[in-house]
Amino acid sequence: MEALIENSVYKKDNLILNLSFQFSLAVIEYAEVLEQKKRFVIANQLLRSATSIGANIKEAQYAESKADFIHKFKIAAKEADETEYWIMLCEAADNYPKPNGLGEKLAPIIKIINKIISSSKQQLKTKQKAT
């Protein structure tokens, strides 16, 4: 896994990209545990929403405009909220393996995504006023 990071875009100093990538890897491991327990529907839902966070953040790196960048981060924020729901559901459900630490790993990702959206909107407003 370290070799993957060494030879990819994740080597760059991009905190949110790195955090979302690491989070996706942790969710993949947890989804495998859920599947072993035959909790296929929840495993699939969680895996899709969680990995979509990083996929949208990655896609935002090549946005066509600041508005497109913001839009992709808003999608990532929605996916993060959905992921938080599935994690909370797994934590509360009886007979489900607990998602040890996933909620704690997700919280800073959500904060950073929201800050990026906020500051990007402000930059866009400032740029629009200047023109």
Please say whether the beta carbons of 78 and 113 come within 8 A: no
Q: Each residue of 114-130: pLDDT tens digit?
A: 999 999 999 988 888 88
Q: Each residue of 10-55: pLDDT tens digit?
A: 556 899 999 999 999 999 999 999 999 999 999 999 999 999 999 9
Q: Model pTM?
A: 0.89
Predicted pLDDT of residue 3: 46
Rounded to 5°, angle at Cα 58 from 53 and 123: 95
Predicted pLDDT of residue 73: 98
Predicted pLDDT of residue 7: 45
Q: What would the mean pLDDT of 70-92 be, rounded to a whole number?
A: 98
Q: What would the mean pLDDT of 86-95 be, rounded to a whole number?
A: 96
Structural domains in the chain plus CATH codes: 12-130 (1.20.1440.60)
Among 83, 95, 99, 107, residue whose Cα is nearest residue 30 = 99
Predicted pLDDT of residue 130: 83
Q: Please state, in angstroms and as integers, the Cα–Cα distance from residue 97 to each residue in 13, 34, 54, 56, 70, following that order.
A: 34, 7, 24, 28, 35
